[in-house]
Amino acid sequence: MNNFTNPTCAEFTELDMLLGITCHTFAAGSQGVNKFLGDFNRGELSHTTPGLNELGIHWVAIYDRVYDVTTYVDAIRENQEPAVGGGEPNLDNNPAAYLTPTLNKVIMNSLGGDATGLYEALFGSSEYIACLEEMFYTGLLDDEFDTFCATLNIMMYCMLVFVALLMVIQFLASMIYVCPRNRTYTEEDVRSPVMVMVPCYNEGDNELRKTIKSVLNTTYPDENKVLFMVADGIVTGNGEDMSTPEHLANILGFDVDEFEDDTFEYDCIGVTHTKNRARVYHGILQKGHKFLKYIVVVKCGLPHEATASAKPGNRGKRDSQLILMGYYNRIHYGRELTELDSAVQRAMGPARNGRP
């Protein structure tokens, strides 16, 4: 029994079978496929005249049904003898012109267009349509103008042009902003005080020096900028001989005394601890003709953390950022300040007005 799952190779010999050569011939055909997959309706392709012409095929349309006669026409032209005296070629002796002479004229004289009028004038009946359907049918001709599709296409092109123009404008705007050769701050621009907030955790001397140096060397006026650094706990980095707060003290030039320096409480974020304590240092770093005003907050932890924790005062970088953000929030809305806020507020005065 020949079906979709039992292949049949008629030319196989016993030697082929012994060698295990794979058979790839399925004697199923369209009926076998339908039996295996079930019955399906056969769809019809819809063509437009411009679309058919773009395909580069020979076609004619009769009663809005398209017939692809490319193979037939090419065979005729390959076997066609030159016309005598410049007249029309004689197809009577052309072996490739196997259709009736009248039907040949309909096809050859209507290539790339609608042959319905010529067909009706010569035949007046549909007796040859079945033949054309069997041999050349390829789909339906649909040249109807769809207002909705045309409107949709116009809208799509308009949106495409709009998006392209928007991208060009964005590109030009970014180039106008980026490309000026001489960037200068106006006097009005540099009057506003700025604060550069830098959280740190376990950085060593080299990393801290590069960060502080970059802030010091900015072109913004020294008297209008303040460096605000938060050390996230008494933490010593891998391979370092001093903790991060000690490195900051060594670079910026302030003294640290963990037993004598005042600590200030504030509400922190954390799972284990909701309170923390910190020390506040402030001063001015002088390097040549440049100077940098700074405020340093060192989170040192609650008293019992000094012996119970390897990283006393450590609460995370987000907590470090909220120290400054919370301070400004409470100042802006007139809320009660924490102990740490008050200490930062006192350090703000010299940092805001001080000069070396």
Q: Mean pLDDT of all residues in the chain?
A: 84
Q: What is the DSSP string of 201-223?
A: SS--HHHHHHHHHHHHTSSS-GG
Straight-line distance from the first to the last Cα atom of the chain, in angstroms, rounded to the nearest whole number: 104
325: phi then psi, degrees, rounded to nearest 5? -65, -40
Q: Tell the CATH topology of 46-141.
A: Flavocytochrome B2; Chain A, domain 1 (3.10.120)
Q: DSSP readout, 247-269?
A: HHHHHHT----TTTS--EEEE--
The reported pLDDT for the residue numbered 276 is 94
CA angle at residue 45 from 41 to 47, to 5 degrees? Answer: 165
Are the beta carbons of 279 and 264 closer than 8 angstroms? yes
pTM of the entire structure?
Answer: 0.51
Helix (H, G, I), strand (E, B) or coil at 225: strand
| Residue ranges in the chain whose pLDDT is less than 70 | 1-12, 16-17, 19-40, 81-93, 180-185, 189-190, 351-356
Supply the pLDDT for residue 150: 86
Phi-psi region of 285 (alpha: psi -120 to 50; beta: other; left: phi over 0): beta
Q: Tokens in use for 346?
A: 């006192």
Q: Which residues share a beta bridge with 279?
A: 298
Distances (CA, A) of 304 to 11, 260, 277: 93, 17, 11
Count the Cβ atoms, other than its own, within 10 Å of residue 240. 15
What confidence score (pLDDT) does residue 207 get? 94
Alpha-carbon Rg for the chain, nearest whole angstrom, is 45
Give the list of residues 6+ apart from residue 97 with CB closer than 8 angstroms, or none: 76, 91, 104
Scanning 38-187, the segments in alpha helix (DSSP H) are 49-55, 70-78, 101-108, 116-122, 129-136, 147-178
Domain spans of the chain, in order of start: 1-42, 46-141, 194-353
CA–CA separation, 222 and 208 (whole Å): 19
pLDDT by residue (tens digit) across 278-326? 999 999 999 989 999 999 999 999 999 888 888 999 999 999 999 999 9
Say which residues have a Cβ less than 8 Å from residue 268's Cβ, sequence separation at least 6.
274, 275, 276, 315, 319
Q: Which long-range contacts (CB under 8 A, 24 or more apart) does 188-195 make?
A: 190/220, 190/221, 190/224, 191/224, 192/224, 193/224, 193/225, 193/226, 193/352, 194/220, 194/224, 194/225, 194/226, 195/225, 195/226, 195/227, 195/228, 195/324
Evaluated on CA atoms 129, 132, 137, 142, the torsion sign reads negative
